Amino acid sequence: GGGGGGGGGGGGVGGRSILGEWLEVLAPSLRGLSLEAALRLFMLLCRLPGEAPRIDRMFEALAAIWVRENPDSPFVDADGAYSFCCSMLMLNTDLHNDAIPPARKMTADQFERGQRGINGGGDLDAAFVHRTHASIKEREIAHRPGGS
């Protein structure tokens, strides 16, 4: 792991954040899910805070728990899974934002190029990355409406 630090979402139990406690409860449900499916579930269950550092910690925590629960995943560590979560969300925004003209939307090849080296310095399987692109293109990653 990446050494403790500023907690994940406020107060906690025994030094663990509320987010960490909640993810521990959710952990068995993540077993056997693809990272994309886990991200989709997480986005439906969580309301993202407005501050980027807090969102960052949420995805780092999700990636760490998901990798632990899925030791046979294509990811060598939580850092790669975290990077791919961020990439999937950026792709989702790109593909499903009406302000971006169709000709400017990210292609599967562009998405794959953007993932090079994220898996412990190595690449993810190209077919896996292309399938993820196709899935997100076909079905937007929904999320709970935010609030302040």
- What is the Cα 53 distance to its own chain's centre? 15
- Which residue among 21, 36, 51, 69 is the active-site one? 51
Is 51 designated active site? Answer: yes
Supply the DSSP symbol for 12: E
The secondary structure element, H or E, covering residue 13 is strand 12-13
Q: What are phi and psi of 17, to 5 degrees?
A: -75, 160
As given in the structure block, the two tokens for residue 115 are 């993932």
For tokens 């999320």, name the residue.
Answer: 143
Residues with catalytic roles? 51
